[in-house]
């Protein structure tokens, strides 16, 4: 009986890991979805650039803490709805907590996080900005071990879609 329980738990953990790795992959090569993908190796390479000022040094220090960034943006109402459903499914399955939700110029923005060892540490951040088919919708997933307050530097330097909204969320 104990072996069966262990097998069931193992299958649940493996399926959650598989789900987490693949749910957003379907958006990567679609013609009507703009995609930005940055992995740990790229963050590591970028963090080795020489810094001339304090703000750039803060940015480079943050890059060392990041593992994975995925940004998907679309103006398609159908793709936007699919991204919305996927983000809600993912947040529930992985156990992300809703950090904030707000309306910004007719766009609904939801930010979910998975906390780390402390309240200020974030292991994963998920943002979905719904443009309702009139404006661009953005789905962003960011993984690593960082402080939410540090994200304003990232969004400013990388000029990410949804970055202004994420900046506002980090200040709430």
pLDDT at 6 > cutoff 50: no
User: 161 near 89, Cβ under 8 Å?
Assistant: no
What share of the chain has pLDDT > 70, as a percent? 75
**Residue with more model confidence, 130 or 165:** 130
The pTM (predicted TM-score) of the whole model is 0.77
Q: Count the residues in the chain.
A: 172
Model confidence over 57-89: pLDDT tens digits? 888 888 889 999 999 999 999 999 999 999 999
pLDDT value at residue 9: 45
């Amino acid at each position: 009986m104990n072996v069966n329980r262990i097998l069931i738990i193992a299958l649940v953990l493996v399926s959650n890991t598989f789900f987490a790795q693949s749910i957003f992959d379907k958006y990567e090569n679609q013609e009507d979805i703009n995609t930005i993908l940055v992995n740990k190796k790229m963050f590591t390479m970028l963090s080795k650039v020489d810094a001339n000022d304090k703000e750039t040094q803060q940015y480079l220090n943050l890059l060392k803490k990041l593992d994975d960034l995925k940004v998907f943006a679309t103006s398609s109402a159908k793709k936007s709805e699919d991204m919305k459903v996927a983000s809600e499914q993912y947040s529930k399955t992985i156990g992300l907590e809703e950090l904030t939700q707000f309306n910004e110029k007719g766009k609904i923005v939801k930010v979910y996080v998975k906390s780390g060892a402390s309240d200020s540490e974030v292991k994963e951040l998920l943002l979905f900005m719904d443009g309702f088919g009139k404006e661009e919708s953005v789905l962003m997933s960011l993984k690593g071990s960082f402080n939410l307050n540090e994200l304003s530097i990232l969004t400013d330097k990388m000029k990410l879609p949804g970055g202004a909204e994420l900046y506002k969320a980090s200040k709430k």
